[in-house]
Structure 1
Amino acid sequence: MRRTQAERDAITIEIGYALCSAAFAAAVLFGAVAGPALLFSLPGTVGGLLLHAGLVLAPVLFLVRVASVLLRFRMVSQPSQPGRTRPDS
């Protein structure tokens, strides 16, 4: 199936949105979790734990956000084709 230019543009925009919103969400999460360890002088164990938690959780959130945006776009972007009858009509 060939896609129109408008469909290709919509996919490109959606991918860009998914990547930007995921990067923003991951940065906010990293800042919220690891920020205190970077700003304050916390005990070594607590600071290291917060930093590692931020380094693990941020990429996970990034991947989940990208996948959820793109999967939602894929489900929404398949309208029925106008002018064609449905088999059950």
Structure 2
Amino acid sequence: MGKRAIVHVFVAIFFIVAAGCAAMGTARHAYIMKGQILEVDGREAYLCIGSTDGARAGQEFPVYRYVKSQILGETKTRLSPGTCGRGEDHASG
């Protein structure tokens, strides 16, 4: 394969990767959300996630509990998913 063909292959790969990275902005909210846990009261947790971050009222979130073990270190345990309550549908982004 000549040098020119190798350059064309690398340019094509670059554009494919660049196009994939540009498309990640729209797919980001389907998989990644940012926010904070404001308070935990018994079995209820109050989250601060705005609609601009992709949250909707009634949405379910996976819930994890981190447990510190002296033998294994920090481990992650998945609990049943929780659901946003009605108070969040009045919040703005």
The two structures share one fold, judged by TM-score above 0.5: no
Shorter-chain TM-score: which interval? 0.3 to 0.5
- TM value normalised by structure 1: 0.36
